Amino acid sequence: DAGITQSPRHKVTETGTPVTLRCHQTENHRYMYWYRQDPGHGLRLIHYSYGVKDTDKGEVSDGYSVSRSKTEDFLLTLESATSSQTSVYFCAISDPSKVVDLYEQYFGPGTRLTVT
Amino acid sequence: DAKTTQPPSMDCAEGRAANLPCNHSTISGNEYVYWYRQIHSQGPQYIIHGLKNNETNEMASLIITEDRKSSTLILPHATLRDTAVYYCIVRAVNAGNNRKLIWGLGTSLAVNP
């Protein structure tokens, strides 16, 4: 299994509080991704990073920010959590030598976030 | 990116081959077919991908029809640990900086003893 850890694994927080989720990899992969998964929806991309300090928005980026100051860490921040951000969050990594390999992604175990 | 259609659920007997179909009738020439699976409460797991030739790895085989409008993921000897949701995703690999993968709801495969 790819060396990807996420922390915390579970979190309950109140509406309006800031929350930061961490993804840590030991694979030295260039690309890192944050997804959310909700019942009745497939996984949806929030943000991704293609290198240190290089990030871009995915399809559901509103209300989220990210940072990547080191190759191994990719942080997802909810500046002011809302109940609609209750979800399971997955981090993924890829290390494409070819463009087609961008989508050969390896996922972490997930973080279950509940916003009350 | 082309849309995919998968049956919502399938059953398979342990030890038998599991054949998971995916329809992607609007696929374009530069779009690859990727398969992932997700075991309950875990992160998705990459299985295999292909363009037009059949592909095989240690996990599965991918059979793509000659017209590329459909494909089948084959687990040759299904085990109970293969019980999972299987996702078929079609993605153009030269689509600018958009790195989105469109995940549908997949096929829930139950392998029965």
How close A54 comes to chain B (CA, Å)? 12
What pLDDT, on a 0 to 100 scale, did the predictor assign at position B96? 59
Instruction: Report which of residues A116 and B2 the model is more confident about.
Output: A116
Q: Is residue B99 pLDDT above 70, yes or no?
A: no
H/E stretch holding B86 reads: strand B84-92
What pLDDT, on a 0 to 100 scale, did the predictor assign at position B109? 98
DSSP-derived secondary structure for B41-72:
TS--EEEEEESSS-EE-SS-EEEE-TTSSEEE
The fraction of chain B above a pLDDT of 90, given in percent, is: 74
Contacts of A71 (CB under 8 A, 6+ apart): A25, A28, A30, A51, A52
Residue among A103, A104, A105 with most chain B CBs within 10 A, to mutate: A103
What pLDDT, on a 0 to 100 scale, did the predictor assign at position B54? 93
Q: Is residue A44 pLDDT above 60, yes or no?
A: yes
pLDDT digits (tens, 9 = 90+) for B26-52: 898 888 999 999 999 899 999 999 999
What pLDDT, on a 0 to 100 scale, did the predictor assign at position B31? 87
Residues of chain A with Cβ-Cβ distance to B2 below 8 Å are: none
Nearest to B21 by CA among B64, B77, B52: B64
Instruction: Report which of residues A68 and A99 the model is more confident about.
Output: A68
A90 Cβ under 8 Å from any chain B Cβ: yes
The fraction of chain B above a pLDDT of 70, given in percent, is: 92
A81 falls in which pLDDT band (50, 70, 90)? very high
B62 falls in which pLDDT band (50, 70, 90)? very high
Give A97's DSSP letter: S
CA dist., res. B48 & res. B95, Å (int):
20
Contact A95, A31 (CB under 8 A): yes
Q: Please judge whether B32 and A59 are an interchain contact, meaning their C-beta atoms are less than 8 angstroms apart.
A: no
Residues of chain B with Cβ-Cβ distance to A43 below 8 Å are: 44, 101, 103
Partner A, chain B 2-31, Cβ-Cβ below 8 Å:
none
Count of alpha carbons within 13 Å of B9, Cβ hemisphere only? 3
Q: Please judge whether B43 and A109 are an interchain contact, meaning their C-beta atoms are less than 8 angstroms apart.
A: yes
CA dist., res. A114 & res. A87, Å (int):
7
CB-count exposure of residue B53 (10 Å: 0-12, 13-18, 19+): exposed
Residue among A23, A34, A43, A49 with most chain B CBs within 10 A, to mutate: A43
CA dist., res. A74 & res. A91, Å (int):
8
Report chain A's mean pLDDT, rounded to a whole number: 92
Contact A104, A3 (CB under 8 A): no
pLDDT digits (tens, 9 = 90+) for A86-108: 999 999 998 877 666 778 889 99
A49 falls in which pLDDT band (50, 70, 90)? very high
What pLDDT, on a 0 to 100 scale, did the predictor assign at position A41? 84
How many CB atoms are located within 10 Å of the residue B62 CB?
Answer: 22
Nearest to A71 by CA among A16, A1, A4, A9: A4
Q: Is B96 left (phi over 0), alpha (psi -120 to 50) or beta?
A: left
A105 Cβ under 8 Å from any chain B Cβ: yes
